[in-house]
Structure 1
């Protein structure tokens, strides 16, 4: 599989703050009016240094909580403190134009050496360990962190001695009502000769209700339904051990993974409870950045 344009020795070179700035009025309108976002926990972001931001995917391919978090980051933290988000390399194959726009806002295709290169040069990373299966998990599982035992992000944090800052959200998974994941029966049909669309194994095959298709099947692009979104930045997690040896200790990696998932699940349960009770607070108006972005920042 050919690598995306940002998977080389200097990933993220396509990031363009001017493009981000042009997108922000749209994001802000969605933030205030369409999703009526409320947010909390931004004081948890370390004042300096690197971090590994770890989130749970929600709402299918649109994942509307992601641009809402991005808007808060740029308004509150600014453009100079760079964060690059890891995206599935298949996005560059199936949706090249969308991938190009994503790259301009800071996305890079996930390859281990690309992720390490970002951390080695002093920048931060945003990862969604659950991937497509998390983004398209059934609606009944919307209050469940679904990382599927993937520990690569833990090894990355340990190896580079960076704290993990969890990001959670509630409401985004109501913008696409996933009824069921039909991947297993579709996989059996594929084994009998039914080809995958674009010749690519989608790894998930949801049956869902959403715009613009109504009732649809397959991981298709979607327009999010209007739903109130609540986001939260959680307390940073710093592990006792770090370094190459710690990242190769399977038992230790698993214990760190279990800790992260447990803390994120606890925070998600609390956020869901307060959101349902209507005491999560009013939508927070994004702060203005201290400086406008400069090309190449």
Structure 2
């Protein structure tokens, strides 16, 4: 039975819902719409606009791999503050980050749409710059999204960069100090495990970010977003099921995952693509000092990887009771 929202709700709540709706629509549809607009303009009297943009696109083609183009005006948009209050989302600091260093932050879990990661690192809605003065945040995103005209410029404005090694190298070495690169370590495949109450992380064999940290002497920062997996329900797709097999097959071919998820609607709470109003608290752990090793051995990578997993577990255990995680729940690595 459909559960409808009350007819009269505070105007503030309506604005919060609208802010989240625009973000969902942009994430799911804006790239495709931009392609249609770019091609469609070529068959109108405004064809020159697409031609000029194509020339700009060619000259600017390497920018997503070279640190992007963050825009403080867009990061400060009031819409992000309304979106933050919808859940709400909060950012917790447990240690200082020295602006004279560069940092590589492993963010867990990915969730369905990485909502907490986006709001914390790509906007100022949770006050990142006030909590960590002198630190410039970037967040990696699948390279596919930077191949859409117009959309690429929009997502770069928030500090998003491609999820390629070249991006990490540029930010951690060629842009000086005070840079923080956020990596959703579990990647697209981890979205298939995102459901309320799940603490299963794809980390056991994810060591590329460890090697990059060693090569550039970047301090590792474990980050855990409590509540990230609680925003949507997902159709049962346990490992070994036919649905998971199809999802893994598509992910292997296209590089993106296709979780069958649902949340609530605009005027009812029973189904839809809007996330549930459930809090997300992102806890930033203490940096792990990393000595630069230009050509790290596999043993060095493995050792630092084990240390990182230990610190992530300690961070989770130290804070889980504050954010309504049962005492018998622990991180599960796969």
Normalising by the smaller structure, the TM-score range is 0.7 to 0.9
Residues 196, 229 of structure 2: 8 Å contact kept: no
Evaluate the alpha carbon distance shift between residue 27 and residue 74 of structure 1 in structure 2; reply closer, same or farther with a 3 A threshold: farther
Q: Is residue 157 of structure 1 aligned with residue 207 of structure 2?
A: no
**Normalising to structure 1: TM-score of the pair?**
0.72
Q: Could you tell me which residue of structure 2 aligns to residue 231 of structure 1? A: 282
SS in 2 for 1:168: strand
C-alpha distance in 2, partners of 1:142/1:202? 23
Counterpart of 2:332 in structure 1 is none
Select 2:185's aligned residue among 129, 140, 155.
129
Alpha-carbon distance, 1:257 to partner: 1.3
1:131 Cα offset (Å):
0.7
For the 8 Å contact 1:176–1:210, the answer to whether it is kept is: yes
1:90 and 2:151 are equivalent in the alignment: no
Residue 263 and residue 74 in structure 1: after superposition, are their counterparts in 2 closer, same or farther (change >3 A)?
Answer: same
Q: 1:9 to 1:86 in 2, by over 3 A?
A: closer
Q: What is the alpha-carbon root mean square deviation over aligned residues?
A: 3.4
Change beyond 3 A, Cα 1:258–1:97: farther
User: Gaps (5+ residues) in structure 2?
Assistant: 1-56, 238-242, 327-334
Does the CA contact (< 8 Å) of 2:110 and 2:186 recur in 1?
A: no
Larger CA deviation: 64-73 vs 2-11: 2-11
C-alpha distance after superposition, 1:107-143 (max 9, x if no partner): 1112212221122222331111211122342426632
Deviation at residue 236 of structure 1 after TM alignment: 0.6
SS at match of 1:231: strand
Q: TM-score, normalised by structure 2?
A: 0.65
Contact 1:40 1:232 in 2 (8 A): yes
What residue number does 1:48 align with? 100
Aligned pair 1:14/2:69, yes or no? yes
Find out whether 1:77 has 2:127 as its counterpart: no
SS at match of 1:44: coil
Are 1:257 and 2:311 counterparts?
no
Partner secondary structure for residue 202 of structure 2: coil
State the alpha-carbon separation in 1 of the partners of residues 222 and 286 from structure 2.
Answer: 7
Q: How many residue pairs align between the two structures?
A: 255
> How many angstroms apart in 1 are the aligned matches of 2:64 and 2:145?
20
Which segment is superposed worse, 50-59 or 140-149?
Answer: 140-149
| Distance in 1 between residues matched to 2:295 and 2:139, nearest whole Å | 26
Q: CA offsets per residue over residues 40-77 of structure 1, 9 Å max, x none?
A: 2253323532111221144312x221133233313433
CA distance in structure 2 between the aligned counterparts of 1:200 and 1:96, rounded to whole angstroms: 23
